[in-house]
Amino acid sequence: MKQSPVLTEKQVKQLLSSTKMTRHSTRNRLIVILSYYVGLRACEICSLTVGDVLDGEGNIKDTVILKSHQTKGNKSNSVYLSDTVKDEIRKYFSEYSYLVTLKQSSLLQSQKGGGFSSMTIQHLFKKLYKSIGLDDCSSHSGRRTMITQLAEKGVSVRVIQELARHSDLSTTQRYIDVSVDKLKNAVSLVSF
């Protein structure tokens, strides 16, 4: 089974920049952020509600609880939002302020005012990738890139497994990309 490619830092920046050229740039940027910075799957991104990310006082939560119907494995899970992600959500709500009071509404609104489907999110990613010449990427590239980047920065595979919400450690290990450059860099670390 062919895995989605892992993007370089430069390619992720190009992808984020490409959202500026879209009609709903703030919304589309948030969709990319949720994939690359949180590791959400397309089905999880489209299932988020306003109430999932905002508490009762209208503050952005540090932890989002995905209910069983929102996840791939039908098990509720926690996802953690960094300050960077929370800033992006704030920017989104500053543009789409009417959503703040609609707790049950889809967080990410389509042009027609409803939520997205998983397929629509996947198509949006394909369109964004194509705009920067990355035709072989998919909506899962963000998830793989996040997991690989955490591994490269020395985060424990067990911690990554929890963040990725994988029940089996071997699944997490399959997500981590290994390239010739990474192998060469690893060997160069050995010294006596």
Q: Is 29 a catalytic residue?
A: no
Q: Is 36 a catalytic residue?
A: no
Q: Is 166 a catalytic residue?
A: yes
Q: Is 143 a catalytic residue?
A: yes
Catalytic annotation, pick one of 29, 41, 144, 165: 41
* Burial class for 192, CB neighbours closer than 10 Å (0-12, 13-18, 19+): exposed
At position 157, the amino acid (one-letter code) is V
Catalytic annotation, pick one of 72, 90, 130, 158: 72
Q: Is 41 a catalytic residue?
A: yes
Give the sign of the dihedral formed by CA 124, CA 126, CA 131, CA 134.
Answer: positive
Q: Is 92 a catalytic residue?
A: no
The region that residue 156 occupies, defined by phi over 0 for left and psi between -120 and 50 for alpha, beta otherwise, is beta
- Contact 79/107 with Cβ under 8 angstroms? no
Catalytic annotation, pick one of 27, 140, 144, 165: 140
Catalytic annotation, pick one of 27, 143, 144, 165: 143
Q: Which residues are catalytic?
A: 41, 72, 140, 143, 166, 175
